[in-house]
Structure 1
Amino acid sequence: MNTPADDSPKPPTYRRSAGSPRATARRRELLDRVTADLATNGLVDFSLRRAARAAGTTHKVLLYHFESADDLLTQAILELRERRIGNALTAMAAPELHTLADRVRAMWPILLSDKTGLRVLDQAIGLTMYDPARYATLGREASRQYLPTLLAICPPHWSEQRRLEVSWMILATLRGFLVEWLTSGDTTGTTAGLEALLRALEREESAES
């Protein structure tokens, strides 16, 4: 697997952004541009130079606002995940959805709709497994980002432990389905698996608390 090139100076020789309102706005602008490039072109062969071209600036400016190429890559991937989570939350907020199974069913097509963005996030998980010392944050943050959303859609009367168990089951299962769908294109298999997950959630909700 080709990993993103780490072509930033070591140690960094440029002073960090001090966090002023102007610097914060500029950092946001740069991150949005790099995130857009990542969503379109993926993260294979990602580098600080490529990011600078996408952002219309120089690598020195990027290193003023971000610690390194890896830091910029991580922030862009976190941003992509946040957008997907936001879209999923919108879908699950529909007033006609009352059960956990209904909400997960509504979330699934949203997760599938952005195939390019999904492929980037799948590549990020691959990086985590390929080089955990360097990219462990990408794997940890994936779960930290998604779990609060899943916990929030569980029935409020459930115990904290029960909500955590079911949320992890949903997260791990959907993640597996998405990887299978991306790598094999087997929509029949993933659809069948999703229906089995939904039935399991219906049984879980119908069980006595």
Structure 2
Amino acid sequence: MARTPDLKRRRELLDAVVDECAAHGVGGRSLRELADAVGTSHRMLLHHFGSRDELLLAVVDEVERRQMALLSELMADGTGFAAMWDHLRRPELRALERLFFECYARGAQGESPFTTMLPGAVDRWLSVTRSAADPALARLSLAVMRGLLLDLAGTNDDAGVDAAARVFAALIGSRSQRA
């Protein structure tokens, strides 16, 4: 009979791997290298996550979960796009953003297990913003934010990308004032 994974230990390992990936990225590091970096064995990571790719998906899912919780708070207090951008554009999240885009692209190409993150990577975000008056604007905002993050991840042009984010925030701000 298969052992039920220790969920507390899985959570501890996942938190450690998220922190490690945020600090040092993933790149081509093997499961053994990731395990060494968080003080465990590759066998323990396999036990809890199944494979390197499933571990990477778990990292992306956890980061997305944290970000959606923040977005829910920001939607409730009305600070919206600009405040979310201020959070997501932080340099310490850049490696996690790169990982998201890598996994997303692999899913879009039909590569398993990354296909499991689609279309949820869009739908979950939109479900948080469903209370917005305009669902099309919510989707556009998500697309703009992700496009800006992809630009930032590829160019590290903080000033240029931040300027574009400010312009978009002003556009949607002026649109909502007219409504």
**Corresponding residue to 1:108 among 85, 100, 103:** 85
Determine if the alignment matches structure 1 residue 193 to structure 2 residue 164.
Answer: yes
Q: Deviations over 1:34-54 (max 9, x none)?
A: 221111111212322123223
Contact kept in structure 2, 1:16 and 1:63, CA below 8 Å: no
Determine if the alignment matches structure 1 residue 53 to structure 2 residue 53.
Answer: no
| Large movers: runs of 4+ above 6 Å | none
Contact kept in structure 1, 2:26 and 2:95, CA below 8 Å: no
Measure, in 1, the Cα distance between the counterparts of 2:47 and 2:162: 46
TM-score, normalization by structure 1 = 0.69
Measure, in 1, the Cα distance between the counterparts of 2:170 and 2:139: 16
CA spacing shift, 1:187–1:49, aligned 2, 3 Å: closer
TM-score, normalization by structure 2 = 0.78
CA spacing shift, 1:57–1:151, aligned 2, 3 Å: same
Deviation at 1:194, TM superposition (A): 2.5
Segments of structure 2 that go 5 or more residues without pairing to the other structure are none
Contact kept in structure 2, 1:17 and 1:65, CA below 8 Å: no
**Corresponding residue to 2:98 among 97, 122, 126:** 122
Contact kept in structure 1, 2:71 and 2:80, CA below 8 Å: no
The root-mean-square deviation of aligned C-alpha atoms, in Å, is: 2.8
CA spacing shift, 1:139–1:121, aligned 2, 3 Å: farther
Number of aligned residues: 176
CA spacing shift, 1:130–1:166, aligned 2, 3 Å: same
Measure, in 2, the Cα distance between the counterparts of 1:52 and 1:174: 32
Please say which structure displays the higher CA radius of gyration.
1
**1:70 aligned partner, one-letter code:** D
CA spacing shift, 1:188–1:58, aligned 2, 3 Å: closer
Aligned to 1:74: 57
Deviation at 1:188, TM superposition (A): 4.3
Q: Deviations over 1:5-38 (max 9, x none)?
A: xxxxxxxxxx86525xxx1112111211122111
Aligned to 1:176: 147
The SS at the match of 2:99 is: helix
The SS at the match of 2:40 is: coil
| Percent of residue pairs bearing the same amino acid type | 26
The SS at the match of 1:151 is: coil
Segments of structure 1 that go 5 or more residues without pairing to the other structure are 1-14
